[in-house]
Amino acid sequence: MIERIFAPLTKKVSGAFGLNDDAAVFSSEEGNEIVITKDAIAEGVHFPEGLPAGDIARKLVRVNLSDIAAMGAKAKYYLMSATIPKTTDKKWFKEFAEVLAEEQEEFDISLIGGDTVSYEGKISLSLTMIGEVRKGWEVRRITASDGDDIYVSGTIGDAALGLAVTQGKYGNISEASKEYLISRYIKPLPRMSLGNRLSEIATAALDISDGLIIDSEHLRKGGEIYSDKIPLSDAAKEVLEKHPESFELIVTGGDDYEILFTSNPETHAKIQAISAEISLNLTKIGRVEGDKIRLISSSGDKILLKNKGFSHF
């Protein structure tokens, strides 16, 4: 059953052997190196019990794609392990595989391996995403320099606000805003088009999964982030206007899957050009300097936060 459902997802890659061999085989293009990441998601942590199978599949794929983009690489293949309650029915697997097929189409990737385990426990999924980048052109996290600008893609905070909306918060915002924020939470948008261009412009990069502030500390450098420069969606602006205390959630909430990158100020014009080419806002929000990340208000004061963001374990 599983083989019938998942094997068709491998049909574009002969080295996947239709999931019928002990392992898959592939080569990188000459002059390229392999970029690989593996993230797990579990019921009750990364998604609530009862979330539709398709939403789970989409999130599993996209959180891993986002890591590949943040390295400046192009995603190509993935392997997946699904450890699933015994009571799960065939319909669940079909829906799960249907969304995998959509994701494969959208992001030009292919399943090449993995397995399923049926057990008496909760849903626990793990995905290994494989990409390629020109040798030596990968973009790392800790390679920024003092004086570099700090940029983010897209808008910040939507996913955390969306999660809060699903939990019944911010009841007085418009239905359209609610829908938008929830969709940003359920359907993160990994920034693959930016990932493909990142090595041209970035001195360092990472994806924002745990929250803007805590993830910016992964640069291992200090810097100022100007709170009034942080790009917000119209929906987030509406929440912020009606619930000013939501600011803290916007800058510390996880699941954005936007890319934060640093670059030499001389690169500014090129960044604007690439932003236009890939139709994605890239906003300068701060500057690398010193050894601590500081969030600065429009009046120049340092903003203190109660929590910096989501922390595993």
In the complex, which residues of this chain contact a second copy (CB under 8 A)?
A: 1-2, 15, 17, 20-28, 33-46, 66-68, 70-71, 73, 79-83, 112-122, 124, 126, 128-131, 133, 135, 138, 140-142, 205-207, 218, 312-313
Tokens 């500390």 sit on residue:
217
Distances (CA, A) of 34 to 11, 129, 133: 21, 10, 7
| Secondary structure class of 204 (helix, strand, coil) | strand
Min CB(102)–a second copy separation in Å:
22
Q: Which is nearer to a second copy, 100 or 161 (CB)?
A: 100
Shortest CB 41 distance to a second copy, Å: 7
CB of 142 to a second copy, least distance (A): 7
Determine the angle formed by the axes of helices 234-242 and 158-166, rounding to 10 degrees: 60
DSSP string covering 58-123: HHHHHHHHHHHHHTT-EEEEEEEEEEEETT--HHHHHHHHHHHHHHHHHHT-EEEEEEEEEESS--
91 vs 245, beta carbon nearer a second copy: 91
The three-point CA angle 297-299-302 to 5° equals 45
Q: Which is nearer to a second copy, 165 or 198 (CB)?
A: 198
Min dist. Cβ of residue 120 to a second copy (A): 6
Beta carbon of residue 205, minimum distance to a second copy (angstroms, whole number): 8
Closer to a second copy by CB, 42 or 51: give it.
42
Nearer to a second copy, 126 or 183 (CB): 126
- Identify the residue whose tokens are 């929906």: 235
